[in-house]
Amino acid sequence: MPAHLMFEKMNSYGYKTNYLIDTLITNYTFIY
């Protein structure tokens, strides 16, 4: 799990948005 995503999870501020963005980046990197 990326550090910024873990931080957002603990902070619980903008968690869903950051989770979606991180998921898209992870999927794009995996596909690429």
Consecutive 10-residue averages of pLDDT for the chain (32 residues): 64 67 78 56
Q: Is residue 12 within 8 Å of residue 29, measured between CB atoms?
A: no
Q: Which pLDDT does position 18 carry in this prediction?
A: 72
Q: Is residue 4 within 8 Å of residue 18, measured between CB atoms?
A: yes
Q: Which pLDDT does position 11 carry in this prediction?
A: 60
User: Where are the alpha helices (H) located in 1-32, listed in sequence order?
Assistant: 3-11, 15-31
Q: Which pLDDT does position 21 carry in this prediction?
A: 84
